């Protein structure tokens, strides 16, 4: 089935094996609709890994306009300069949670955001009002959201609660992020307390770029360690 991928040209992407082993990061440089092929180049100047012809892989793509897209395809050319993948098709929606996800275990604070309504004739826009802050651990982070652990019985955040995560880091990066999110799922864990699966909201282009860079930098560190290079 042919798909139109012209909207993802220039977008950053994550390349994985079908078993979700991280291989590389890159940028979509071309789309060849006649055979559903895409070309990928490095987005930071580093060499891409080599790969055998016809190897099936996953490509996770994120763009501020196109959103998230999971693809699978087969290697036609894979050298240090660029990759070409053919017979590219869409992955299922259930792949979305794992896009660019890394374990981080970052200590932070989280608070609920409640929109405070203004009187109709006030002439002012509604404002956000923060509530009680709870210590939390950001267990993992992706471009789409984060998994939080809150070990406090008084915390009553629920699905659809709007939250703000304050001053968390991604892996070993010194950069800190403060981002808004919405709770998409909630469960209780015997040891960790309340686990909240959250989806980021209202990210601007600068926040998206910074988050991508921090996640990709951590992934490169993990790859180097596995290869004994760091």
More confident position, 140 or 92: 140
pLDDT confidence tier of residue 14, bands split at 50, 70 and 90: confident
pLDDT level of residue 41 (50, 70, 90 thresholds): very high
pLDDT at 31 over 80: yes
pLDDT of residue 52: 94
Q: What is the pLDDT of residue 193?
A: 92
CB 16 within 8 A of CB 60: yes
Contact between 5 and 59 under an 8 Å Cβ cutoff? The reply is: no
110/153: higher pLDDT:
110
* pTM of the full structure: 0.66
pLDDT of 34 > 80? The answer is yes
Domain ranges of the chain: 6-96, 102-224
CATH-assigned architecture of domain 6-96: Beta Barrel (2.40)
Closest listed residue to residue 108, CA positions, set 37, 202, 196: 196
3-state secondary structure 186-227: EEEECCCEEEEEEEECCCCHHHHHHHHHHHHHHHHHHHHHHC
**Given a cut of 60, is residue 25 above it in pLDDT?**
yes
CATH topology identical between 6-96 and 102-224? yes
- Residue 129, pLDDT above cutoff 90: no
Q: What is the pLDDT of residues 139-190, one digit of tens each?
A: 999 878 999 999 998 999 999 999 999 999 998 878 899 999 999 999 999 8
Q: List, for residues 55-84, the tens digit of each pLDDT value.
A: 999 998 876 665 678 899 999 999 999 999
Write down the CATH number for the domain with range 102-224: 2.40.10.220
- The reported pLDDT for the residue numbered 182 is 95
pLDDT at residue 212 in the model:
79
Arithmetic mean of pLDDT over the chain: 84
């Amino acid at each position: 089935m042919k798909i139109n991928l012209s909207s993802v040209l220039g977008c950053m992407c994550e390349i994985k094996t079908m078993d979700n082993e991280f291989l590389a990061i890159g940028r979509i440089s071309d789309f060849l609709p006649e055979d559903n092929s895409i070309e990928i180049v490095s987005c930071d100047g580093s060499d891409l890994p080599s790969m055998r012809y016809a190897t099936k892989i996953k490509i996770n793509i994120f763009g501020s306009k196109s959103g998230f897209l999971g693809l699978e395809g087969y290697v036609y050319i894979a050298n240090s300069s660029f990759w070409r993948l053919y017979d590219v098709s869409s992955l299922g929606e259930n792949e979305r949670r794992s896009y660019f996800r890394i374990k981080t275990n970052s200590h932070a604070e989280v608070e609920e955001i409640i929109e405070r309504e203004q009187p109709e004739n006030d002439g002012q826009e509604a404002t956000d009002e923060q509530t009680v802050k709870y210590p939390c651990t950001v267990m993992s982070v992706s471009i789409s959201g984060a998994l939080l652990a809150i070990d406090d019985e008084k915390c009553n955040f629920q699905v659809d609660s709007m939250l703000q995560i304050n001053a968390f880091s991604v892996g070993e990066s010194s950069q800190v992020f403060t981002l808004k999110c919405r709770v998409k799922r909630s469960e209780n864990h015997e040891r960790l307390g309340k686990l909240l699966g959250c989806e980021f909201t209202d990210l601007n282009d600068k926040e998206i770029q910074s988050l991508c860079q921090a996640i990709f930098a951590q992934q490169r560190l993990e790859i180097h360690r596995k290869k004994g290079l760091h």
